[in-house]
Amino acid sequence: MLWETDEPGEALRQRFGFGDQDAVADWLTDVLAEEWGITVRDCPRLVISDQNAIAWVASDDRDYVVKWSRDRDRFPRLDASTRLLRDLAAHDLPVAAPAASTAGHVRVELEGPAGRLSIAVLPELPGSWLDVTDRDAVRAAGACLADLHRALRISDVDPALREGSPRSVRTRIEGWLSSQRHRAGNAAFSRLERLVEDAPPLEGGPQLVHRDYRAANILTRESTVVGILDFDDVTMDHRVNDLAQACVYLATRFTNWGPTEPATQRLLWQAYHAVSPLSASEQVWLEILVLWQGLQAFPNP
């Protein structure tokens, strides 16, 4: 299990209809041969996360990561985000370009043992999860996020990714503050109220952003970013909010959650700013959004 405490075998049976990992390996062997023309030699690892699963497979030519979901409501978004991943790879960003099926599709819908599944096959990227104590790697992550945002800004936005476009950041924060009146005596809460009240309008509109840019989704090698993972939750938002979220959550992985040190946050956004400068209003809002995201992620008792 990626982050849940459920028993893996039971989750595999109840959610996807597979008796065990060997049954998954047999199914993948047939699916990848028929739909992708890939010969599977081994399936050494399988991870379950909610209604999704990820399997690592070895083939004759290279190693792959196979991702599938049973959440049919999300199938259009998953298809759109996988096609976006293909387009980002064409911009030379460090992402895993999805393998096209023999019919030319980057996602395929098939019947699984317990229902319809949406499946994508990605090459496995070699690297290690970002170490936030490596200052050069953190700087590289900040610069890479800036490059990613620039590429996302000029990308065509599939209608499926426009669904649920957010309200303005000011409206969202003011709504959250109204729901948290029991924390009015908290110094950080009071500071956030003052900062929002005095803040200028945020320049620029929403664009596509990653939404989950953190150590668990960033692979590095020798302090260089070699892989950005998990574009399943890409969405429309202000880039500065995505940067703020990255600052707060950068040090988190799976079950190892904790605040990112302020010095590390500063390294990240300074490296971002050096590549893609923030406007004056964005710099004001970055401070606000980091505080807001931090209060939500790691609330005071």
CATH 2.60.40.10 is right for the domain spanning 128-297:
no
> Whole-model pTM?
0.94
Cβ neighbours around 241 below 10 Å, total: 24
What is the spatial distance between Cα 81 and Cα 272, in angstroms, rounded to a whole number?
23
Convert the pLDDT of each residue in 154-207 to its tens digit.
999 999 998 766 889 999 999 999 998 887 778 999 999 999 999 999 998 999
Q: Could you tell me which of 174, 236, 232 has the C-alpha nearest to residue 204? A: 236
Answer yes or no: is pLDDT of 118 > 70. yes
Spatial separation of the C-alpha atoms in residues 148 and 187, rounded to whole Å: 35
Q: Which residue has the tokens 């976006």?
A: 84
- For residue 301, pLDDT beyond 50: no
Structure tokens at 66: 């196979």
Asked if residue 283 lies in contact with residue 203, where contact means CB atoms within 8 angstroms, the answer is: no
Name residues whose C-beta falls within 8 Å of residue 178's C-beta, 6 or more positions apart in sequence.
none
**Topology given in CATH for the domain delimited by 8-123:** Phosphorylase Kinase; domain 1 (3.30.200)
Where does the pLDDT of residue 298 fall: very low under 50, low under 70, confident under 90, or very high at 90 and above? confident
Exposure letters 46-85 (e unless 16+ CB within 10 A, then b): bbbbeebbbbebebeeeebbbbbbbeeebbebbbbbbbbb
The domain locations on the chain are: 8-123, 128-297
- pLDDT of residue 5 exceeding 90, the answer is no
Determine contact, residues 96/122, Cβ cutoff 8 Å. Answer: yes
Give the Å distances, CA to CA, from 219 to 93, 106, 253: 13, 22, 12
